[in-house]
Amino acid sequence: MPLSLRSSQSVSQEDIDRIIHADHWDPFTVLGQHKHGTGRVVRAFLPEGRAAWVVDLRKGEPGVRVAMSHIHSDGLFECAFPGVDEAFPYRLEVENHEGHTWEFVDAYQFGPILTDYDLHLLGEGTHFKNYERLGAHLIVHEGIRGVMFTVWAPNAARVSVIGNFNHWDGRRHTMRSRGPSGVWEIFIPDLTQGEFYKYEIKSRQGGYMVQKSDPYGFAAELRPKTASVVWDVMNFAWTDQKWMRDRVETQGLDAPISIYEIHLGSWKRRPEDGDRFLTYRELAEDLVEYLDGLGFTHIELMPISEFPFDGSWGYQPVGYFAPTSRFGTPDDFVYFVDTLHRHGYGVILDWVPAHFPRDVHGLGFFDGTHLYEHADPRMGEHRDWGTKIFNYGRAEVRNFLHGNALFWLERYHIDGLRVDAVASMLYLDYSREAGEWLPNIYGGNENLEAIDFLKKLNELCHAQYPGILTIAEESTSFGGVSRPTYLGGLGFSLKWNMGWMNDTLVYMAKDAIYRKYSHGGLTFSLIYAFTENFLLPLSHDEVVHGKGSLLDKMPGDIWQKFANLRLLYAYMYGHPGKKLLFMGDEFAQWREWTHDASLDWHLLQWRDHQGMLKLVSDLNRIYKDEPALHEVDFDWQGFDWLELHDWENSVLAFLRRARDSNDMVVVICNFTPVVRQGYRIGVPAAGFYREILNTDSEIYAGSNSGNYGGVWAHPESHAGRPFHIQVTLPPLGVVFLKYEPC
């Protein structure tokens, strides 16, 4: 061990050794300025220093330089000020072994930042703006600008901030422990936005040492690098006031909600520039122009919280508070959201509270203990994805996730969160065999802590940000997913209708000649359609892992494939429930989706693909224009079967109603390639039924079978209805007929 150059009368050798070896749990008791006898002493650890001075600022600038004594060869310096009773301002000046000198403000002269009340709320798990206190924040503290760093690591023996500013030396900026709270903090003067940093953590458990990204970091280095980046996310400039003011109405359950799901890294790239990603700003401009032609009401972004591995598509995030740097800075992402809002489009984020990856710089085994995850692998490991499961029973972990959800809604004006893999959260035995899981306290398989977490999540989000949407990707029959918590539900706004999606795609994949034998699979969704607030998803999950594209799933020759896909889309838009379509499906991409290549935009030179794009655009327009197709999505009063039992001809017909019961649209689907002339459908009222959509129209590259603008109702009853219409059903086609009274 290097020996002291001279002994110090004001600090023990034990404290010196602990500072030198970065083992001191509270370096603020040693470093900085302290009262000593009848005077004061300033002490600093400067391992790069050959000489050092205190710049005494009691008489103002430029200050008086007072040489410090070198009390340890590893760089510990000290300077006594006899007779000085009160604390005084100062800077430090250091000269390195190459003769270069510089001045800086000493981080160890500052007092604590977090209040006892902050620590109480953080420990209790009720600090719902925890992101304003934890992480890295540009602040003015005791009159000096710099960065406040705070991190929760209750089982650490020592935590240091490391970065370029201290040569990634964990001895330089050892943090202050805030006692039983487990929070560590330090204010480092003069740091600015853009600084790279990590936390170096030495655990009390076996001397485990690790460098971690900031769990609350607001920005991150571009992968494969893993440092966090200091960024100010508290004062963004927004121009979307009109959208935010109108959002409660725009996103009501009686409003048209048609979502375009997008993976930013593969929607469009720049092949002329090395096939690079588009930036958030480029994406904003291109997407707005594209959406203006398509008519969707919202986009849903596959996860953009910082993630290390492109192949996870964002579903294994590490930087929960950082929009991925693949496409730019946090300010660029604000520009993206703001631009979408100003043009009338909502922005929904895929949010992943079900699990997190094992990456060493992430949340796993954070302070040498299973801090964020369960220690028992029967509770803490997700077998399907090789990831860790959050410990929802721990107050600080719940607070981390609740605060994260609120952060995106507050700081980035996000309009909704689609919560990923909810089913895996609800059940302790999800994807586990007997003996691989632990029952709850009542002996059941429900994850009571996760259920409580989700209820509180929805209560917080909807109470603090009225009008936002929370959407559950939930594939089981768990009851009340989209019912209010005060009625025993989970409190989500919407639930993905995975049953409808699976049954419909299985049916559509059958050759038309065999569909009549599976008619019940097509009608089954209406048995439960109004038990939840359903969203009908044709998502990315249906076009990956060898499943092929939606177009390729369709049976028959090329003409039939396109006709079937047009049929599928129109059936979806007629069926009760909000809508979601994955990118590329709107123009019938042939190949299944891959995350590392752009969509096949060149297909739009062909008529069939142009027709599909035109159909999706018209479906969105009609869906928004016709209250009957969106106002009463979640109640039987908005739906009535007109033809349910014609399995022999594979025909379905139903009526959609608005709140005004005279506002009606008839939807008729022919799931065979046979043109059916004079097909009779019973209807409830006399009048004209105007054809507002026909998927077989030549403008969609169809064969143009149709009804010449519409049909009149005949006064004879049919199938229990007082009137009937006779229509031409196009092959593999859907017609929408708008009711117009006489």
On whether residue 136 sits in a domain, the answer given is: yes
Does residue 257 sit in helix, strand or coil?
A: coil
- Residue 217: inside a domain: yes
Do 25 and 120 fall into the same domain? no
Which of 52-56, 271-275, 496-500, 552-556 is least confident? 271-275
CATH of the domain at 210: 2.60.40.10
CB 166 within 8 A of CB 181: no
Give the H or E element holding residue 97: none
The answer to whether residue 383 scores a pLDDT higher than 90 is no
**Catalytic residue (choose from 93, 367, 420, 643):** 420
Confidence of residue 3 (pLDDT cuts 50, 70, 90): very low
| pLDDT score of 209 | 96
**pLDDT digit string (tens) for 203-213?**
998 889 999 99
Positive/negative CA dihedral, 476, 479, 485, 488: negative
Active site (annotated) includes residue 436: no
What is the three-class DSSP state of 579? strand
The DSSP 8-state label assigned to residue 432 in this structure reads: -
63-84 residue pLDDT tens:
999 999 999 989 999 999 999 9
- Residue 121 and residue 85 share a domain: no
Domain CATH code at residue 692: 2.60.40.1180
- Residue 238: inside a domain, yes or no? no
Could you tell me which of 95, 327, 74, 372 has the C-alpha nearest to residue 215?
A: 372
Least Cα distance to 633 among 196, 178, 258 occurs for: 258
Assess if residue 679 is contained within a domain: yes
pLDDT at residue 4 greater than cutoff 70: no
Residues 55 and 148 in one domain: no
Structure tokens at 388: 């860790």
- Statement to judge: residues 649 and 730 lie in one domain: yes
Measured CA to CA in angstroms, residue 488 lies from 262, 418, 448, 455, 691 at distances of 33, 21, 13, 9, 43
Judgement on whether residues 102 and 121 belong to the same structural domain of the protein: no
- 631 part of the active site: no
Which tokens go with 115?
Answer: 């209040």
Residue 697 lies in a domain: yes
Q: How confident is the model at residue 1 (pLDDT cuts 50, 70, 90)?
A: very low
* Count: domains in the chain: 3
Q: What confidence tens digit (pLDDT) does each residue in 194-204 have?
A: 999 999 999 99
If asked whether residues 22 and 62 sit together in one domain, one would say yes
- 734: closest CA among 653, 677, 647, 633? 653
Average pLDDT, stretch 99-111? 95
Q: What is the pLDDT of residue 2?
A: 41
| Dihedral angle of Cα 271, 274, 279, 282, to the nearest 10 degrees | -40
Residue 85 lies in a domain: yes
Catalytic residue from among 473, 585, 618, 696: 473
Boundary residue ending a domain (72, 106, 140): 106
pLDDT in tens, 415-450: 999 999 999 999 999 988 998 899 999 999 999 999
- pLDDT over 90 (residue 742): no
**How does residue 235 score in pLDDT terms, banded at 50, 70 and 90?**
confident
Packing angle, helices 280-294 and 607-625, rounded to 10 = 80
66 and 152 within one domain: no
Q: Comparing 146-155, 172-181, 378-387, 684-693, which segment has the lowest mean pLDDT?
A: 378-387
Using pLDDT thresholds of 50, 70 and 90, give the confidence band for residue 8: low
pTM of the entire structure?
Answer: 0.94
Query: 175 Cβ partners below 8 Å, 6+ apart?
Result: 149, 151, 158, 159, 160, 161, 184, 185, 186
**Last-in-domain residue among 106, 138, 162:** 106
**Residue where one domain finishes, among candidates 214, 229, 244:** 229
Tell whether 74 and 142 lie within a shared domain: no
pLDDT on residue 9: 57
Angle at 348 (CA atoms; ends 345, 354), nearest 5 degrees = 175
Domain-embedded: residue 418: no
Same domain, 99 and 130: no
CA distance 92 to 77: 11
602: which DSSP letter? G
Residue 199 in tokens = 């936390």
337 assigned to some structural domain: no
Same-domain check for residues 101 and 54: yes
Which range of residues forms the domain containing residue 209? 116-229
Residues 674 and 647 in one domain: yes
Percent of the chain predicted with pLDDT > 90? 92
pLDDT digit string, tens, across residues 526-550: 999 999 999 999 999 999 999 999 9
Report how far residue 256's alpha carbon sits from residue 252's, in angstroms, rounded to the nearest whole number. Answer: 8
Does 88 share its domain with 168? no
